[in-house]
């Protein structure tokens, strides 16, 4: 893990409440994310984890609360602008564009920050993408599509990487590859907000963990606490 800055958090979420119709998805959620830090959102399906990421990215409107990036209030800022300000979004469906080749998918987003990975860095970290650079994006395996989705955002040079279940359905080898990429990103100062059910993976990359229950932050845990209570947490998550 990289050294943390002692200054203000990169991302601050304050008293966020969000609904779907009359159903409350998030209730008064607050958390912070420091520079180069990895924070995991843990909880059962329906706990509000993905909704929280979508609210941060501006893809779902919160009823109350604020999201601040580098101290800037993002209220009313559209998702495209949030991306240019330094938020990178890797959804659970990966968002690969079928009509574009692997290389075209990689080059499509604009470079927005000084942490942008060069194509050489991408090819070194993701050799399969170099080998398949002329392939249509959707001809890749599920694991390769996950690598492409992460590489595409890292090419932008985002300050905060939002990852939604990046290891779901991946082989142990590819889970290790995702871990190495997250570590490489944080070593360059990128912060990561991660939705993850795989507690074993989460404890290898994360600094802190927020346990969400019924749309609320139930607990904040460090890695030692998660490892000590892993059996209890796995039973709670139904994993």
Q: Is the separation of the CB atoms in 117 and 161 below 8 Å?
A: no
Mean pLDDT of the region 137-160:
91
Cβ within 8 Å of residue 6, ≥6 positions away: none
pTM of the model as a whole: 0.91
Helices (H), 94-171: 102-107, 119-125, 127-131, 142-154
Helix (H, G, I), strand (E, B) or coil at 143: helix
Query: What is the band of 142 on the pLDDT scale with cuts at 50, 70, 90?
Result: confident
What pLDDT sits at residue 132?
93
Please tell me the CATH code under which domain 11-237 is placed. Answer: 3.40.50.300
Q: Give the Cα separation of 178 and 170 in Å (integer).
A: 9
Instruction: Compute the radius of gyration of the chain from its Cα atoms.
Output: 17
What pLDDT sits at residue 1?
42
Flag whether pLDDT at 41 surpasses 60.
yes
* Sequence spans of domains, the chain: 11-237
65 C-beta neighbours (distance < 10 Å), count:
17
Q: Is the separation of the CB atoms in 64 and 25 below 8 Å?
A: no
Flag whether pLDDT at 156 surpasses 60.
yes
| 38-42 and 191-195 strand pairing | parallel
What pLDDT sits at residue 3?
41
């Amino acid at each position: 893990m990289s050294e943390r800055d002692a200054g203000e958090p990169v991302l601050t979420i304050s008293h966020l409440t969000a609904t779907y119709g009359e159903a409350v998805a998030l209730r008064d959620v607050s958390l912070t994310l420091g520079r180069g830090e990895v924070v995991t959102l843990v909880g059962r399906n329906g706990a509000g984890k993905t909704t929280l990421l979508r609210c941060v990215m501006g893809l779902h409107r919160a009823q109350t609360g604020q999201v601040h990036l580098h101290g800037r209030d993002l209220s009313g800022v559209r998702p495209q602008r949030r991306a240019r300000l330094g938020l990178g979004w890797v959804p659970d469906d990966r968002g690969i564009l079928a009509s574009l080749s692997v290389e075209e998918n990689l080059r499509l987003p604009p470079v927005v920050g000084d942490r942008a990975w060069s194509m050489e860095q991408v090819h070194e970290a993701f050799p399969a993408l170099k080998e398949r650079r002329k392939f249509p994006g959707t001809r890749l395996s599920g694991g390769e599509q996950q690598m492409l989705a992460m590489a595409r955002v890292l090419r932008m040079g985002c300050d905060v990487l939002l990852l939604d279940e990046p290891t779901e359905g991946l082989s142990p080898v590819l889970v290790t590859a995702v871990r190495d990429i997250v570590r490489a990103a944080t070593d360059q100062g990128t912060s990561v907000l991660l939705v993850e059910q795989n507690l074993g993976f989460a404890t290898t990359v994360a600094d802190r963990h927020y346990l969400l229950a019924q749309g609320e932050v139930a607990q904040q845990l460090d890695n030692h606490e998660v490892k000590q209570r892993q059996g209890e947490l796995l039973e709670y998550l139904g994993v």
